[in-house]
Amino acid sequence: MLFGLFMGDWTILILLPAMIFAIIAQARVQSTFNKYSKTRTFSGLDGASVARMILDKNGLYSVRIERVHGHLTDHYDPRANVIRLSDSTYSSDSAAAIGVAAHEAGHAVQHAVGYFPIKLRMAIIPITRFGSALAMPLFLIGMLLTAFSYNSGIGEIFMLLGILFFSFSTLFQLVTLPTEFNASSRAMEALRGSGRLGSQDLSAARQVLSAAAMTYVAALATSLAYLLRFILIFMGASGRRRN
């Protein structure tokens, strides 16, 4: 198989740690959310109420809160100026729900104050989508050209373009990391500052947010592992052509 893109060479080993990390991170966030979704908060506040409280405290009265179907499908949509909370968050007064809702409110606050990383993330979304769609086709075409056109460097150019476009996705994951950590930090600060949650509630919310944060770390690690593997495959293909 051409330079072992999918199997057959040692570079696939680069992906294994990142993939294992991603599986563990996803399992942890699910188990942590499930655990604390059964823990009722002392205040009795549900997810929608917590999000509204944080928004109003920051003067974001125009940001709406809507219910959306699904599990952990919560997100803030800056274009519609709305926080969408999933069925498992919107009306739940669990520690897990208030942590997730507060996190999404944190994103709304980021947009309101012009937090630079989230502005950068929004700006690179179009090029990230474009790059993600073209990266693999360009890389595969480059591999074929390099394999069957030994006296031409056109294949290498295509492979490099594929690597470049894929790097946009890695950049997006890199920018996402501080954005998500900051949103969780804002969430915890708001929950503590409300004075309506006990220490156990705050501890549970923090654990939920910490578990969720690890999924973003895992996503970045996986993207970096793929990028490194593509670079090594390119170096191997280029070396074989010159030999």
Q: Catalytic residue numbers?
A: 104
Q: Is the dihedral of CA 54, 56, 59, 63 positive or negative?
A: positive
Strands (E), the chain: 64-68, 75-77, 82-86
Residue 75: beta bridge partners? 84
Which residues have CB under 8 Å from 39's CB, separation 6+?
Answer: 94, 95, 96, 200, 201, 204
CB atoms within 10 A of CB 78: 14
In DSSP notation, 101-126 reads HHHHHHHHHHHHHT-HHHHHHHHHHH
Nearest residue to 240 (alpha-carbon basis) of 12, 14, 2: 2
How far is the C-alpha of 235 from the C-alpha of 129, rounded, in Å?
A: 26
How far is the C-alpha of 41 from the C-alpha of 45, rounded, in Å?
A: 7
How far is the C-alpha of 199 from the C-alpha of 52, rounded, in Å?
A: 21
User: Is the CB of residue 240 less than 8 Å from the CB of residue 4?
Assistant: no
How far is the C-alpha of 162 from the C-alpha of 173, rounded, in Å?
A: 17
